[in-house]
Amino acid sequence: PEIQKTTPVTVKLLNGEEYTENIVNFTGHYLNPMSDEELKEKFRCLAERGGMNDDNIKACIDIVFDLEYTKDISILMDSLIIH
């Protein structure tokens, strides 16, 4: 039997009311994986927040999604440098 991962999420409104819901197999869980586009968008958001520029973000995504054809991993490392 599969074990389901339940994660409680609570939202507190400005008026003090709270609502809690248990999320089963949240997005990103192995039973509910992110699509490639969701994963790319999550990386873009986090990389931008971390200071990466758009060109490096795109290069990093392109390299990772074609990693099996990459002969020199140093180009991936170079794309991760924040200027």
Token couple for 19: 């609502």
Q: Is the pLDDT of residue 3 over 90?
A: no
Percent of the chain whose predicted confidence (pLDDT) is above 90 = 69
Q: Is the pLDDT of residue 2 over 80?
A: no
Q: Is the pLDDT of residue 59 over 80?
A: yes
Q: Mind listing the pLDDT tens digit for each residue in 14-54?
A: 999 999 999 998 899 888 999 999 999 999 999 999 999 99
CA distance 40 to 46: 10
